[in-house]
Chain A
């Protein structure tokens, strides 16, 4: 008989009426945690027409889904979402609260954590229970792994990126409770989302690309970066990057692979002019083959790949592209 107290919570997120895969993935992990704690899984979701989505959350493992349903909530409204979740959490006293590490999640999570005066861990690449059934969040740091716990305060909160946990099988026959929440209309309106604009994303999505070329500081300048981008095109690969490339303005934050960015699991990964810093490498969940090109023979990246080449990527990459194109012409592929 499951303890209905101190459930495991997942704050789910939907965009254009589609639940994000990270929410499903968190649901899967929440179920594992809830089973071990002998408690239930509950989820919160906001939007306007989300009954179907709530049902999907049940199919993914939620025993109870709270819907914040209102035309007002079609767009993410930080203060309203926070207020509702905080009030509900104070009522339901979840033991654990998981939130997907999206831009919304990373804003909402700390707002909730501060209001509930509890701890919140970012960049989790694993969530387990320790000997005392306390949530242990594993995060990569300093070339190793840190375990972080929130021993006293509740709920124990964590944000997790898409791709860390596997997507669970949806069981359409699963049943659960769906509760529509009262939306308080008189919440302080100091802050309002007026509109959301999404530009069409061009290029292959990093998370699903079979080949990923990632560039880093070794590109040196925009010309060097262009050469790496050309390599990605030549291989029909998705182009990702490390933080230095974002800092320099050569690449967008959206294409950053790693702890604070995207998780990938390609067939082939080629790291060009990057040092293999943990924050980046941890974003590569797994890859069949990993290759690195770096001008520093002592670079830590060479400890983490299958094939390494020591050379200045600015000189090497154009030569590589030439050879690849030659080969492709011979094969008749492009």
Chain B
């Protein structure tokens, strides 16, 4: 029979992550909202709390924990700050290709620093010509002796301006069907972060553009097989990227529900708290149903991933469900707050803006449906 409970240890991880989020991240939320900039203190705190080390194997300085523990951490942090959870989840997105497809040398070179938060990472796939469709990218690479020369631009890349260890996907200049994933670091010349986006939500998480101009990359930096780079990035995005978004969405859903309950108990209309009104109870019930369902879908997929099973389809389902649910939850939370929901001082107005950005990250809902449709028909 199925056991739907977390282990004692997982509950302790959740407690640790929650304590961390409430004491180390929460104090910086207002500042991040105001400036839209990443908080250096939050990044430092994440590193010290070993949040980037969760899925890195112990032999490379990581904690050697699983994707369930990672989802727990992202969920708890998102409940306090969606932006921070997004930043953290994309760090893992940048770590995954190296950990799964990197040579021993690459793993030894990068993983320890990544585990400590001394190196910060991301994965750069999306371009103006293709995000949902990665084959539409136009960045190219050309082999030149022991190096590859990379040219192109990436956009909507989370952690673009704070990362120094980046997995990049590019097409073979001569063969459009061949792709390569490389890991770039700050020691290589010819690349830089250019335009910074100003997002309406997830403020405190950096999104921006990267430009590569005759960027010289040693051939030893290739991840996986030369020519088979698509596999590398799709694996990362399919499991880790989607899984991360599930964590982000669940945390946001929880925050929406908690704020709504609090407000509904405090706001008096017609002589009693609005929590006594059925229409409010309906919305709270909807949020609760979505949260229960989302958690089951998400943690089921993570459990499969931890067992080593293929889980990208299950993650597509969970990603679709939870990211749609958190947008509904945020809207309902704002509705429950009435006029107050439009005011900056009320957290729910921020949740609504954050929820917009959750949707298209790591694949839009429409793309999720394409993937799920394919799965059903296969």
Interface residues of A (CB under 8 A from B): 295-298, 310, 312
Contacts and interface: CB of A to CB of B under 8 A. Distances in A.
Contacts of A295: 266
Contacts of B273: 297-298
A297 B265 CA distance: 7
A258 B272 CA distance: 30
B268 interface: yes
A296 B265 contact: yes
A117 to B, nearest CB: 39
Looking at B265, B266, B268, B272, the one whose CB has the most chain A CB atoms below 10 A away is: B266
Looking at A295, A296, A297, A310, the one whose CB has the most chain B CB atoms below 10 A away is: A297
A109 to B, nearest CB: 36
7 contacts: A295-B266, A296-B265, A297-B265, A297-B266, A298-B265, A310-B266, A312-B266
B341 to A, nearest CB: 15
Nearest to A221: B27
Given A297-B273, A310-B266, 11 more contacts: A295-B266, A296-B265, A296-B266, A297-B265, A297-B266, A297-B268, A297-B272, A298-B265, A298-B273, A310-B268, A312-B266
B173 to A, nearest CB: 56
Q: Which 3 A-B pairs have the closest CB atoms?
A: A295-B266, A297-B273, A297-B268
Interface in B50-69: none
Interface in B246-265: 265
Interface string B143-164: 0000000000000000000000
Contacts of A298: 265, 273
Contacts of A297: 265-266, 268, 272-273
B267 to A, nearest CB: 8
A310 B268 CA distance: 8
A249 to B, nearest CB: 13
Contacts of B266: 295-297, 310, 312
A70 to B, nearest CB: 50
A204 B17 CA distance: 42
A295 B262 CA distance: 9
Contacts of B272: 297
Nearest to B263: A295
Nearest to B272: A297
Contacts of A312: 266
Contacts of A296: 265-266
A298 B268 CA distance: 10
Contacts of B268: 297, 310
Contacts of B265: 296-298
B315 to A, nearest CB: 38
B207 to A, nearest CB: 30
Nearest to A294: B266
A312 B272 CA distance: 16
A296 B275 CA distance: 11
A297 B266 CA distance: 5
A132 to B, nearest CB: 47
A76 to B, nearest CB: 38
A244 B273 CA distance: 25
A196 to B, nearest CB: 36
A321 to B, nearest CB: 19
A312 B273 CA distance: 14
A295 B265 CA distance: 9
A310 B266 CA distance: 7
Interface string B265-308: 11010001100000000000000000000000000000000000
A290 to B, nearest CB: 20
Contacts of A310: 266, 268
A268 B29 CA distance: 38
A332 B75 CA distance: 56
B202 to A, nearest CB: 24
Interface string B6-45: 0000000000000000000000000000000000000000
A99 B96 CA distance: 66
B312 to A, nearest CB: 43
Nearest to A312: B266
A297 B262 CA distance: 11
B270 to A, nearest CB: 12
B7 to A, nearest CB: 30
A295 B263 CA distance: 9
Interface in B210-269: 265-266, 268
A297 B273 CA distance: 7
B266 to A, nearest CB: 5
B136 to A, nearest CB: 48
A219 to B, nearest CB: 16
A300 to B, nearest CB: 13
